[in-house]
Amino acid sequence: MFSKTNNPDIIRATALNQYGSQPLSKEVINKILTFVNDSSALVRNETILTLGKLNQVDLSKIIELLLIDSVRLVRISAARYLSMKNNEVLEHNNYKKVKKEYLNELKVNADFAPGQHQIALYHQAKGNNDKAIEAYRKAIKIDNYYNISRVNLALLEYNKGNIQLTEELYLKITQQEPEYSYPYFMLGLLYNESGNSEKSLKYLSLACDNQPVLPRAFYNYGLKLQEKGLHKESIGVIDRALKTFPNDEGLLYIKLLGQINTKQNKGARSTCVLLLKISPDNVSYKEILEGLVLN
């Protein structure tokens, strides 16, 4: 839908917004980039916001062109995108000029939770984690349900070694948003790291039962089940995730291990063939397949 330039601006902007932080193909990214020069400021702005969700590629050189956009909203969004990066563009005059507008925008919105969140992101991108933590805490104080800040705060506190506080932050999110998978996933990893297998399994299972679907949650839950000798259960869990992510190498590998351990050689061969299509030069996969053929 977003490729049809005769669609109303709001429809094209909304269509762009559907793309989250999941990796996109080069073809899709190139298609999104065509909207950088769209006649609509709304669409140009949404293009920047959409590209800002992607961590797989740095498009600073392209976004830099929008620093001289005629619409202030677009210029500020471009400056925000670039502020999250660390490259030579930050030394260019156009960025320095618009940076003042961007920082002023942060100050204007500082009384609101989203504003404090943006301030935190700015400091975090600059490596000023203590200031970022302060801003995230302010965001939560302003709006106790602003859990996007609580998620980021938890990660920073974890990196500082504040494990108990990290646990409390994630548990708070599960109380307020019990349908959200991410905090369950992080708690599962946290408990696994501390050696609490029972709690780790519980929270990884909850992560897999909620939204959005997180491939890494299924991967870790499947792996954890196999560590417990529950290979068939592990395969069942992985098969659920493969319905959404059929070519996820990590998921397929965990399934392969389960099939080998349950002596499902025919299924294991099929899975191994799929893995080799994804990673044709992987020596381990080739050796496993040879062994399965011999058996």
Quote the pLDDT of residue 20: 59
Share of the chain above pLDDT 90, in %: 78
Going from the C-alpha of 7 to that of each of 3, 13, 14, 36, the distances in angstroms are 9, 10, 11, 16
Quote the pLDDT of residue 24: 74
Chain mean pLDDT for the chain: 92
Q: How far apart are CA 225 and CA 197, in angstroms?
A: 10
In 3D space, the residue among 40, 53, 54 whose CA is nearest the CA of residue 12 turns out to be 40
pLDDT in tens, 194-241: 999 999 999 999 999 999 999 999 999 999 999 999 999 999 999 999
pLDDT in tens, 104-138: 999 999 999 999 999 999 999 899 999 999 999 99
Quote the pLDDT of residue 26: 81
pLDDT at 4 over 50: no
CATH number for the domain formed by residue range(s) 178-295: 1.25.40.10
Quote the pLDDT of residue 6: 54
pLDDT band at 295, cuts 50/70/90?
A: low
Helix (H, G, I), strand (E, B) or coil at 200: helix
Q: Rg (Cα) of the chain, in Å, rounded?
A: 23
pLDDT in tens, 180-194: 999 999 999 999 999
Residues in the chain, overall count: 295
pLDDT band at 286, cuts 50/70/90?
A: very high
Quote the pLDDT of residue 185: 98
pLDDT at 21 over 80: no
pLDDT at 268 over 50: yes
Whether the CA torsion 150, 154, 157, 159 is positive or negative: it is negative
Percent of the chain that is helix, strand, coil (3-state, to 5): 75, 0, 25
pLDDT at 265 over 60: yes
pLDDT in tens, 139-152: 999 999 999 999 99
pLDDT in tens, 238-260: 999 999 999 999 999 999 999 99
pLDDT band at 11, cuts 50/70/90?
A: confident
Quote the pLDDT of residue 1: 45
Region 6-17: mean pLDDT is 72
DSSP string, 113-158: HHHHHHHHHHHHHTT-HHHHHHHHHHHHHH-TT-HHHHHHHHHHHH
